[in-house]
Amino acid sequence: MPLTLATQAPGEPEIFASLQGEGPSIGTPVAFVRLSRCNLACVWCDTPYTWHFEGDNRFHRGGVRHARAANQITLEEAEVAARIAALGQRRLVITGGEPLLQGAALARLLDHLPDMAVEVETNGTTRAPAALDARVTQYNVSPKLAHSGNPAALALLPGRLAAYAADPRAFFKFVVAQPGDVDEVLALMEEHGLPAERTFLMAEGTDSATLHARQRWLAPMCLAHGLRLSDRLHIHLYGDTRGT
């Protein structure tokens, strides 16, 4: 079966080389592939073109509903793998949208890329099938807090959070917009056993000024609670643009 990808221009899949901009691998040269579709709807999502299509009544603060034909492309797994291999990187980041919605196809994709280390970025609501899980080097799990606009019953699944907490490959990354959000993170950590040494706080923002302003109060909170701070390096380098 083919994969459904996001586009960086109409007809051009979002497959590119860059530096990882967030989390434990920040600054690492990687290949990225961005898949389309998501089972959640974050009001501040910086990739709404992967899910907020015409006819989708879920709310996004940008207010734009994207044309599916211009923002989605379907390619065979072998072609996607060839494009990734041509980038010459040793590490692959699979992102979205929610990439694990296409877990079986991703496992087949990686059969064509046997030597690549693999990071999967996920919202933490689903799980990789066994064939894919066996290839994953690192999970970057980003559970969604209340300010995302997603009901907790959909976004924060105890069984999935516990499973990721028990997996040493999984790192947690919480998007924080105001100081009160950190209290919610701390409560989730206690409830689900999320390890502090694998938990990052990251300011919400799509421009350097906003990120810097929020990091000024977020950094001391990380220090006080023994948590890790993640920047958004790609925003500082390239701005809020596709294919970066």
Q: Which of 148, 150, 143 is nearest to 191 (CA)?
A: 143
CA-to-CA distance for 204 and 17, rounded, in angstroms?
Answer: 23
Count other C-beta atoms under 10 Å from residue 205's C-beta: 20
DSSP 89-150: -SEEEEESS-GGGGHHHHHHHHHT-TT-EEEEEE-SSS---HHHHTT-SEEEE----GGGT-
User: Quick one: DSSP state of residue 242?
Assistant: T
Pair 74, 1: CB distance under 8 Å: no
Q: pLDDT (tens digit, 9 = 90+) per residue, 80-135? A: 999 999 999 999 999 999 999 999 999 999 999 999 999 999 999 999 999 999 99
Query: In the CATH hierarchy, which fold is given to the domain comprising 3-173?
Result: TIM Barrel (3.20.20)
Place of tokens 């999320």: 194
The residues near 188 (Cβ < 8 Å, ≥ 6 apart) are 143, 156, 161, 194
Strand, coil or helix: 173: strand
Q: pLDDT (tens digit, 9 = 90+) per residue, 3-61? A: 999 999 999 999 999 999 999 999 999 999 999 999 999 999 999 999 999 999 999 99
